């Protein structure tokens, strides 16, 4: 079937690469009429749904069509059962899902969501619907639950906003009938402000314990970064999944070890490995040269090994290599160009080229691996995150001690309690090492958040 934006529908028979037959299907959806939103097809059955909740079932074999107003909400998605000979049709609307018998055009099964939730997608397992909703819940609704609405009691505890709010209150008071929460409450930190600490991290660490228990991983990651940045204890280290936000020296040391180990691995892409080894430099570069010398691609690998061990101190040679690297990047051979730029100590230019190609993550990894000063690359990355990746933006801002920006963003997102926790920790004992913590902007945020 081919559908055009002006509501014209064509039935086309294709064999191989050739169109054998085709004709326009005479529908009620002419220009200016109903607006088709979705379409599903199985055997001789064609189903279409519009923006006003109507569905039409076309039986092309019998040349019959019937339609019905299925809902007051628009049709979001439609799909037929995959069982052989079964033409059960699932129709998804923003707040409900229905199963229809296409032969009798009767509703067999209906799932209704309350006003606080909306459906995102669905599919059929046999004739049992699977529904994904905007509260991050995947619901399986077999036929045994026919015509029963999804109520609040069906939601798991940690995905029920009311119960989560009560858990947070119970955690603060350390009194809960929930055995799991009671055990978590015993881990609460009473005081972390030792003589060597610049900040009191009690509130941060307790909020971190609670957010991890509740599965609020974005909050958990933000608080982990804040604890790592604000603490004077060297042993506090972020988990590997937050490696992008490690301090550059720690990041560089780990990547150097990983790259050196990878040079001894068998099943690995050699070109990518050599590129990373050149960026990391030091022992990693030496290991890459040893691997190239023993490579099966003797001619190409040997020439690259000779280039890597040669001296690039001569200014004329460096300029020529830069020119070659620029030409390679312009010819869409970005990896080779980046490798050459790092080889002649022009890694900053390489990272800028990567960012111009929207390879943001790679630019940050290479900047932290191979640049002594990566602030310029980091600042451009953070500016990029500020547009449509607010969560990562807050993580990055936390590593830069930009607490006023984080507090303001959290407050605007309705996370006033989290904003207060971070504000108290970042201003509990102001020092010169915490930029912006004692600034007028931060004081203004303190009074604003306190009033919310």
139 inside domain: yes
Contact 94, 103 (CB under 8 A): no
Over residues 393-415, mean pLDDT: 91
- 9-15 vs 18-25, strand pairing mode: antiparallel
Q: Per-residue pLDDT tens for 108-145?
A: 888 888 777 888 899 988 888 888 888 878 888 776 65
Per-residue pLDDT at 437 = 42
134 inside domain: yes
Over residues 251-264, mean pLDDT: 91
State CA 39 to chain mean position distance: 30
193 inside domain: no
Per-residue pLDDT at 433 = 38
Choose the weakest-confidence range: 131-140, 282-291, 376-385.
Answer: 131-140
Q: Does the pLDDT of residue 208 top 80, yes or no? A: yes
Confidence of residue 440 (pLDDT cuts 50, 70, 90): very low
pTM metric for this prediction:
0.62
Per-residue pLDDT at 384 = 93
What is the Cα–Cα distance from 45 to 40, expressed in whole angstroms?
8
Q: Does the pLDDT of residue 372 top 80, yes or no? A: yes
Confidence of residue 396 (pLDDT cuts 50, 70, 90): very high
Q: How many domains does the chain divide into?
A: 1
Contact 110, 129 (CB under 8 A): no
Choose the weakest-confidence range: 13-22, 187-196, 319-328, 405-414.
Answer: 187-196
What is the Cα–Cα distance from 192 to 126, expressed in whole angstroms?
56
Per-residue pLDDT at 431 = 43
Q: Does the pLDDT of residue 31 top 60, yes or no? A: no
CA angle 289, 295, 296 (to 5 degrees): 165
DSSP symbols for 91-120: EEETTEEEEEETTTTEEEEEEE--TT--EE
Confidence of residue 444 (pLDDT cuts 50, 70, 90): low
Confidence of residue 394 (pLDDT cuts 50, 70, 90): very high
358 inside domain: no
- Mean pLDDT (the chain) is 81
Find the CATH number of the domain harbouring 133.
Answer: 2.130.10.10
Return the number of other C-beta atoms located less than 10 Å from residue 305's C-beta: 19
Confidence of residue 62 (pLDDT cuts 50, 70, 90): confident
CA angle 337, 343, 347 (to 5 degrees): 70
What is the Cα–Cα distance from 260 to 59, expressed in whole angstroms?
65
170 inside domain: no
Per-residue pLDDT at 352 = 92
Per-residue pLDDT at 143 = 63
53 inside domain: yes
What is the Cα–Cα distance from 296 to 292, expressed in whole angstroms?
9
Q: Per-residue pLDDT tens for 96-105?
A: 888 998 888 8
**Which domain, by its residues, includes 113?**
34-151
Q: Per-residue pLDDT tens for 158-176?
A: 877 888 888 888 887 776 6
Per-residue pLDDT at 349 = 92
State CA 66 to chain mean position distance: 43
68 inside domain: yes
Side-chain half-sphere exposure of 255, counting CA atoms within 13 A: 26
Per-residue pLDDT at 28 = 55
109 inside domain: yes
Choose the weakest-confidence range: 7-16, 43-52, 75-84.
Answer: 7-16
Closest CA to 163 of 173, 172, 152: 152
Q: Per-residue pLDDT tens for 299-351?
A: 888 888 898 888 888 888 889 999 999 999 888 888 889 999 999 989 999 99
What is the Cα–Cα distance from 37 to 3, expressed in whole angstroms?
11
């Amino acid at each position: 079937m081919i559908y055009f934006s002006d509501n014209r529908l064509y039935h086309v028979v294709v064999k191989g690469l050739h169109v054998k037959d085709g004709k326009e299907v005479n529908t009620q959806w002419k220009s200016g009429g109903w607006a088709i939103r979705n379409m599903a097809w199985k055997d001789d059955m064609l189903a279409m749904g519009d923006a006003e909740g109507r569905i039409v079932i076309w039986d092309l074999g019998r040349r019959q069509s019937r339609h019905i107003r299925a809902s007051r909400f628009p049709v979001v998605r439609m799909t037929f059962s995959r069982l052989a000979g079964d033409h059960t049709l699932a129709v998804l609307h923003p707040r409900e899902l229905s199963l229809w018998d296409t032969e009798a055009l009767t509703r067999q099964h209906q799932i209704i969501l309350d006003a606080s939730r909306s459906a995102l997608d669905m599919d059929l397992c046999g004739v049992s619907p699977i529904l994904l909703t905007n509260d991050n819940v995947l619901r399986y609704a077999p036929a045994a639950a026919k015509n029963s609405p999804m109520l609040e009691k069906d939601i798991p505890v940690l995905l029920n906003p009311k119960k989560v709010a009560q858990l947070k209150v119970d955690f603060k008071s350390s009194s809960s009938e929930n055995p799991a929460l009671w055990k978590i409450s015993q881990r609460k930190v009473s005081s972390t402000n030792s003589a060597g600490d610049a900040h009191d991290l009690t509130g941060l660490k307790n909020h971190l314990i609670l957010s991890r228990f509740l599965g609020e991983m974005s909050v958990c990651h933000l608080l982990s970064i804040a604890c790592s940045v604000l603490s004077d204890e060297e042993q506090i280290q972020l988990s590997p999944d937050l490696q992008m936000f490690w301090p550059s020296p720690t990041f560089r040391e780990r990547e150097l070890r990983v790259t050196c180990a990878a040079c001894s691995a068998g099943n690995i892409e050699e070109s990518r490995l050599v590129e990373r080894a050149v960026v990391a430099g030091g022992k990693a570069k030496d290991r890459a040269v040893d691997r190239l010398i023993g490579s099966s691609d003797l001619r190409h690998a040997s020439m690259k090994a000779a280039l890597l061990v040669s001296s690039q101190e001569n200014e004329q040679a460096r300029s020529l290599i830069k020119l070659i690297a620029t030409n390679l990047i312009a010819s869409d051979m970005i990896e080779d160009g980046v490798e050459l730029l790092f080889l002649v100590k022009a890694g900053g230019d390489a990272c800028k080229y990567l960012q111009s190609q929207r390879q943001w993550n790679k630019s940050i990894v290479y900047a932290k691996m191979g640049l002594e000063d990566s602030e310029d690359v980091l600042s451009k990355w953070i500016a990029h995150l500020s547009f449509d990746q607010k969560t990562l933006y807050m993580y990055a801002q936390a590593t830069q001690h930009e607490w006023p920006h984080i507090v303001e963003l959290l407050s605007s997102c309705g996370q006033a309690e989290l904003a207060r926790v971070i504000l108290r920790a970042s201003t509990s004992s102001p020092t010169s090492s915490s930029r912006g913590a004692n600034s007028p902007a931060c004081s203004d945020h303190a009074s604003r958040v306190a009033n919310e």
